[in-house]
Structure 1
């Protein structure tokens, strides 16, 4: 897919209007602190992170958070509007093909040697499931022909930093609590018991796989390779789920973490695609949201931080400083409190209490009340993180968020589903 095709296709799904509002340009930083602009989602572009980074680095940082589709379109069409882009690895193919990002020199990454094997080889342990689709290691290294691949080089397409395994969340006051890896199943998204009370994330490279995992778990169809579906498989999948949508099974879709929280907090849904910060927020609101550990395996994602091709000079230096800061310890500890992992976790361990480390990384019962990033208690004493330890969760990956070869073909199909 070339740049012309990408622009045409994004227009077809009604997103092109978003490109009209460009971010403010950076004034010359001569005689003042350098300023970098970071485009991304609400997941990592949080005010506490921005303030701490400015304090530690002595630079100005501007955050521009938005929905997944919005920020991807911005980064893919307007490289002058940002210096750094934060999202998920399934966006790399689009950004690289659009030629709006530049490679990152690993010699300028202070903690590169500490980054674990999950990103570099695809497996957290030798026995771990590799996971279907765009495992990050397949897209990490820039090859001599400027394509992306798994052969190691001195240039990478993204900084590996935050990552997690995603599934669905459910309100255990309404939905009977299941057994992790045994009875909890993606098939619950299509269970008739929850008719009209189910929501999905509004992203074709994410929600598509939630639906595929659910349909397969229900035994309604199978896939030769879920990570790279054929057109025929996509047709069959959407024929099934669009029919269910028209019958009122799905309450709707959400485009941001706050929206997903509101849907469950209001009682409109009892089960939905969720990201970890949403689960943490709901628990902090005393709503017992359980983050499922599906027996079929997780849908995993890996955060990517990319450099705009327009980032040069002192802004480039500041951008590298910000990337190195993300792997310096404090940020990894901060995002652990919303359920996310960092690529070099041992450096973050001194910034976490023993109880926090044991709960978030080791899968042990919480020894004391634990607060989330919002300062509210989100984990009660004795609670155990669903899915267990960091290693256990990443040993059970079913599929990674992926831009398939049939990505363009899925866009109108996804729009049909959303609008049905």
Structure 2
């Protein structure tokens, strides 16, 4: 073989080797930096669970801290101090507050590995074309960052939050103390203000959530009506809180819970027989032997969509880690995990293989459980023969009355809410 040709080949081989090393070097810093990164995630107890944190750290290779608190507390802290977190997990009603406070930055869609798998609910506001969209801030209305830097429904390449967990909420009631109703027929938000339940009722202490439970109840009892329940006027808010204040003077309310564990304690201790509830609280109560039914109100559900937001102060390698964590949430395991506490994920088909057929049929299809199913706490939360309250994913999300929303009169509603609590 020609010596010059041999030398040339060796040179090219060496050059390729150097190039490969060079490429590796350009990628190496984040790999090494991972060991020293701490990703700070602020949110509520709903998603900030220790099993998820441990699993994420193991699979992603960097440290993660969780800071869970009540809904109102985390929103206030995040809006006023974006340097206190890297990722924020809560509900879509917090988006307008965080965006206007410049506490969060746009998320680049091209960096989200599973964006194409996310279903129509977030992108269009409806799971199916026949579904009720519901009043208030349907997630698609506040998802996309527009050219003028406002939020809207017109698709763009930047979004205000990464869609992930979501559900419809209502109220839970102890069927040993209150006779079971008929889903979508006799079960009604009005039960929260019914005199027969006086002294045994609790509301969630979150102004952008509890206010809608109360409003739906007042309207269901024909105590008042709203022109747009998702955007109440000052006069409507005054009337609503006059009703609530009178009920409070009568001793109607037994408490106001700020976290899921507290709501469980209220129900397990029999402090209340009916209250605003989130799905994990219902599952936990059932796991502890309390027969809580999660109502399917004939007026429709109060819906919410989980949001994962990137702090406006997060940059560099920590920002890279934040994108890794967001992608991890849609990679399958987390969606299967949170299904066992009654929550849905935005790309459910990726989680389906990690669930048993029985789990999928019960949680997503609304079919009868053919065997006992465990919740995220490892306890049996579903008995064989039970059906999910409200039915299938499609049925439940076809019956939305209102989305969790920050109204135009948010500041006024906030003042009225705390006046009510402190009276």
Scaled by the length of structure 1, the TM-score of the pair is 0.92
In structure 1, the gaps of 5 or more residues are 1-28
Aligned equivalents of 1:246, 1:416: Cα separation in 2: 13
Which residue is equivalent to 1:190? 193
1:382 aligns with 2:385: yes
Report the Cα distance in structure 2 between the residues aligned to 1:252 and 1:123, rounded to whole angstroms: 34
Give the Cα separation in 2 of the matches to 1:314 and 1:177: 53
1:220-369 superposed matches below 5 A: 220-369=223-372
Q: How much does 1:74 deviate?
A: 1.2
State the distance in 1 between where 2:162 and 2:33 align: 28
Q: Secondary structure at the match of 2:122?
A: helix
Q: C-alpha separation between the residues in 2 aligned to 1:50 and 1:33?
A: 17
Residue equivalent to 1:167: 170
Deviation by residue 1:309-337 (Cα, 9 ceiling, x = unmatched): 11111101100000000000000000000
Choose the corresponding residue for 1:201, options 188, 204, 210: 204
Deviations 1:155-185 (A, max 9, x none): 0000000000000000000100001000000
* Aligned residues of 1:252 and 1:418 also touching (Cα < 8 A): no
Partner of 1:64: 67
Distance across 2 between alignment mates of 1:269 and 1:216: 22
Match of 1:152 in 2: 155
Find the residue that maps to 2:208 and give its secondary structure: coil
Q: Is the 8 A contact 1:242 1:416 kept in 2?
A: no
| CA separation of 1:60 and 1:175: change in aligned 2, threshold 3 A | same
Deviations 1:140-167 (A, max 9, x none): 0000010000000000000000000000
Please tell me whether the aligned partners of residues 260 and 281 of structure 2 are also in contact (alpha carbons under 8 angstroms).
Answer: yes
* Counterpart for residue 140 of structure 2: 137
CA distance in 1, matches of 2:323, 2:128: 29
Match of 1:180, SS? coil
Match of 1:10 in 2: none
Aligned equivalents of 2:247, 2:82: Cα separation in 1: 40
Which residues of structure 2 form unaligned runs of 5+?
A: 1-31
Task: Specify the alignment match of 2:78 in structure 1.
Answer: 75
Conserved? CA contact 1:33–1:58, under 8 Å: no
Which one of 33, 38, 48 corresponds to residue 35 of structure 1? 38
For 1:235 and 1:45, the matched residues in 2 are separated by 36
CA distance in 1, matches of 2:396, 2:49: 25
- 3-state DSSP class of the match of 2:396? helix
Aligned length: 392
Aligned mate of 1:109, from 108, 112, 119: 112
**Is the 8 Å Cα contact of residues 83 and 311 (structure 2) preserved in structure 1?**
yes
Secondary structure of the structure 2 residue equivalent to 1:233: helix
Q: Compared with structure 1, are the counterparts of its residues 207 and 219 closer, same or farther at alpha carbon in structure 2 (3 Å cutoff)?
A: same
Say whether residues 1:121 and 2:124 are aligned partners. yes
Contact 1:180–1:294 (8 Å) recurs in 2: yes
For the 8 Å contact 1:41–1:68, the answer to whether it is kept is yes
Listed one character per residue, the Cα deviations across residues 160-216 of structure 1 (whole Å, up to 9, x for unaligned) are 000000000000001000010000000000111111000000011100000100000
The corresponding residue for 1:180 is 183
Cα gap change, 1:384 to 1:31, in 2 (>3 Å): closer
Measured in 1, the distance between the counterparts of 2:80 and 2:202 equals 30
Following the alignment from structure 2 to structure 1, what is the Cα–Cα distance between the partners of residues 192 and 286?
21
Deviation string for 1:57-103 (max 9, x for gaps)?
A: 11111111111111111110111111100000000000000001000
Q: Is the 8 A contact 1:171 1:288 kept in 2?
A: yes
Name the Cα RMSD after superposition: 0.9
Match of 1:415 in 2: 418
Deviation of residue 34 (structure 1)?
Answer: 2.0
